[in-house]
Every structure is written in C-alpha cells, then in structure tokens.
C-alpha cells in the first residue's frame, strides 16, 4: 500500500514539473493558430500530432526551467513548494524526464507533422529554457520583454503545423502574446518584488521601482489594445472578436489604472496577474469562435 502511495506521489511531482496550467494555455493558443490558418478543419494529423508535439515540448521546457531555477526557487515563497526544492524529484530524474519529453516532441514534429514546425518549436524551447532562464532572467530588467518571444510562439507553431509556412496572420497572433507578456508578468513581479530582490533577479520593479513598473504596465496595456484590434482591421476576424477584444482591453486597462491608484495594495497586482491569464484565454477563444462563424456563416 505504501509503495503505491509513493508511486502516486512521484507521478504527481513529475506532473507538477510540467506546469500543466501554463502548458494548457500554450496548447490552446497553438490550437487556435491551427484553426485560424485555414478556412475549414485543419485535418487530423496536424491537430493530433501537432498538438501533442507542441505540448510535449512546452512541458519539457517547463521541466528544464524548474531544474535551472531550483536553487533560487527554495528562497521564494511562490516557488519553494515545487518538487525539486522539496526533494520530491531528484535533479537527475527531472533532467531525464525533460530530455525524454523534448526528444519525443522533436521526433513527432519532424517526422509526422513537418520540419518547419519542429525547427520553430526547438528554437522556442531553447529560447525559453536556456536563453531566458539561464541568461536574460538574471541579466536585464527587460528579461521578460526579450524572452517573451519564446512564450509568444505557440500560435505561430500551430499555424506552421497546418500550413507548413508562416505568414502575416501567424505573426500577428505571435505579436499579440508578445505584447501581452510584459504587463502580465510585471504584475506578478510587483506582488513578488521582495522575493525577486532576495535572489538577485533584476525584475523591473526591483531595478526601476514599482511606480515606474505600474506606469509601464498601463502603457503596454494600451499598446495591447491597439494590437488586438489588428486582426479585425486586416479582415482576419469579425465583429464577435472585435467586441470581445475591446471589452477585455477595457477591463485590462481598468486593472492597470487601479494598480496606479492604489499602489499600496499589492493584492491588486495579483488580481491583475490573474485577470491577464483569463484575458488571453478569452481573447483567443473569441478568435476561434469568430473564425468559425466567419467561414461558416450559414450555421
């Protein structure tokens, strides 16, 4: 009985290493990219194997992130309960797990989907797990801006999985997530400013102060609204998406303004962070819904 409990605990720890909630959002945006790439059904091969390959790569990158950040995670309240700092998974086991996920992902994407998707996914994986986590995160307060390119790749990967190419539509989806990432993460950085300072991570609130960061979040949010209108402007989406994007943008702006009005209430920063996650999911959901009605108006 105790052996079974231990096995269950081990698998649960490995599952936590993959950051399942983050990966779920990544996979969802990739799937939306697949649907927006073509007027109709993307087809079973890119849908099934493209989604699987991208999801495995994202999971592998998440595990590598855990491994590389384990020594600072133990000092941060938000991350000290993760499997590696708690000793529930060894670094060697986590490394083997991450490597297996990435290798399987590349095999699926290269041989079953297409080489372009495999190459782009590999670049995204390396960009997040190595360039961002190892270098940028510790080198510059603009870490999340530059490193955000890796996190913005999923819809582009989904698009490439279906079409075997990338075009302006795919790049626009990439741009939306790229602009969304800084205000999303800087809200968390404000709430966890002392923890980042403690482990010498130069997040923007640590290096430039909270007031500057709050203003920057507001400016990025305004830029995000402008960017999210572009799919409608170029005829990529219709009114369902436009109305949703403007409504969500107004709500995001409200959160950003509230953070500036009440700078001493750190809970507002966490509220903004949580809202930003829902924001992206709802925005891409509106893209998907609008696309369905746009190309099947008779239903």
Tens-digit pLDDT profile for residues 5-16: 344 458 889 999
Q: Are residues 6 and 120 in the same domain?
A: yes
Asked whether the predicted pLDDT for residue 139 surpasses 90, the reply is no
Q: Are residues 148 and 274 in the same domain?
A: no
Q: Are residues 223 and 244 in the same domain?
A: yes
How far are the Cα atoms of 33, 183, 184, 188, 239 from residue 276, in angstroms, in the given order? Answer: 20, 8, 6, 10, 22
Give pLDDT, residue 152. 95
Q: Are residues 22 and 140 in the same domain?
A: yes
Q: Are residues 98 and 145 in the same domain?
A: yes
Q: What is the mean pLDDT of residues 263-292?
A: 93
Alpha-carbon gap, residue 236 to 240, rounded angstroms: 12
Burial class of residue 260, CB neighbours in 10 A (0-12, 13-18, 19+): middle
Q: State which of 37-41, 75-79, 82-86, 180-184 shows the largest mean pLDDT.
A: 180-184
Q: Are residues 123 and 202 in the same domain?
A: no
**Last residue within a domain, chosen from 138, 166, 194:** 166
Give pLDDT, residue 281. 97
Q: What is the mean pLDDT of residues 282-297?
A: 84
**Last residue within a domain, chosen from 166, 196, 215:** 166
Q: What is the mean pLDDT of residues 118-141?
A: 90
Asked whether the predicted pLDDT for residue 4 surpasses 50, the reply is no
Alpha-carbon gap, residue 65 to 83, rounded angstroms: 12
Mean pLDDT over each residue of the chain, to the nearest integer: 91
Q: Are residues 89 and 104 in the same domain?
A: yes
**Alpha-carbon 130 to chain mean position:** 16
Asked whether the predicted pLDDT for residue 295 surpasses 70, the reply is no
DSSP code string of 19-84? -HHHHHHHHHHHHHHHHHTSSS---HHIIIIIHHHHHHHHHHHHHHHHHHHHHHHTT-TTTTTSHH
Q: What is the mean pLDDT of residues 64-68?
A: 92
Q: Are residues 136 and 270 in the same domain?
A: no
**Residues spanned by the domain of 55:** 1-166
Q: Are residues 84 and 28 in the same domain?
A: yes
Give the pLDDT band (50/70/90) at residue 274: very high
Tens-digit pLDDT profile for residues 105-127: 999 999 999 999 999 999 999 99
Q: Are residues 100 and 214 in the same domain?
A: no
**Last residue within a domain, chosen from 115, 148, 166:** 166
Asked whether the predicted pLDDT for residue 205 surpasses 90, the reply is yes
Higher pLDDT, 231 or 5: 231
Give pLDDT, residue 296. 56
**Alpha-carbon 3 to chain mean position:** 36
* CA triple 163-26-244, angle to 5 deg: 85
- The CATH number of residue 44's host domain is 1.10.357.140
Give pLDDT, residue 10. 80
Number of structural domains found in the chain: 2
Q: Which of 228, 142, 144 is nearest to 185 (CA)?
A: 144
Q: Are residues 161 and 178 in the same domain?
A: no
DSSP code string of 99-119? HHHHHHHHHHIIIII-HHHHH
Q: Are residues 50 and 139 in the same domain?
A: yes
Q: What is the mean pLDDT of residues 235-261?
A: 96
Give pLDDT, residue 203. 93
């Amino acid at each position: 009985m105790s052996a079974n409990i231990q096995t269950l605990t081990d698998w649960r720890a490995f599952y936590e290493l993959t950051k399942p909630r983050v990966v779920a959002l990544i996979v969802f945006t990739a799937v939306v990219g697949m649907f927006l790439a073509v007027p109709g059904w993307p087809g079973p091969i890119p849908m099934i194997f493209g989604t699987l390959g991208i999801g495995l790569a994202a999971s592998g990158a998440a595990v590598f992130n855990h491994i590389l950040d384990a020594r600072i995670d133990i000092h941060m309240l938000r991350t000290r309960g993760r499997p590696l700092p708690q000793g529930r998974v060894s670094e060697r086991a986590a490394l083997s797990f991450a490597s297996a996920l990435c290798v399987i992902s590349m095999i699926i994407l290269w041989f079953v989907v297409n080489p372009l998707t495999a190459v782009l996914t590999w670049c995204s994986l390396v960009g997040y797990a190595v360039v961002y986590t190892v270098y940028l995160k510790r080198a510059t307060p603009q870490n999340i801006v530059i490193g955000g390119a890796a996190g913005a790749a999923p819809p582009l990967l989904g698009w490439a999985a279906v079409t075997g190419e990338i075009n302006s539509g795919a790049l626009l989806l990439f741009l939306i997530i790229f602009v969304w990432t800084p205000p999303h993460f800087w809200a968390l950085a404000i709430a966890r400013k002392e923890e980042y300072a403690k482990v010498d991570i130069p997040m923007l609130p640590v290096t430039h102060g909270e007031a500057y960061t709050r203003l920057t979040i507001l400016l990025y949010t305004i830029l995000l609204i402008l960017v999210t209108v572009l799919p409608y402007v170029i005829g990529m989406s219709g009114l369902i998406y436009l109305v949703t994007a403007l409504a969500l943008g107004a709500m995001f702006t409200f959160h950003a303004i509230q953070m500036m009005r009440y700078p001493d209430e750190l809970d507002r920063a966490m509220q903004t962070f949580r809202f930003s996650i829902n924001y992206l999911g709802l925005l891409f959901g509106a893209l998907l819904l609008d696309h369905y009605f746009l190309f099947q108006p008779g239903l």
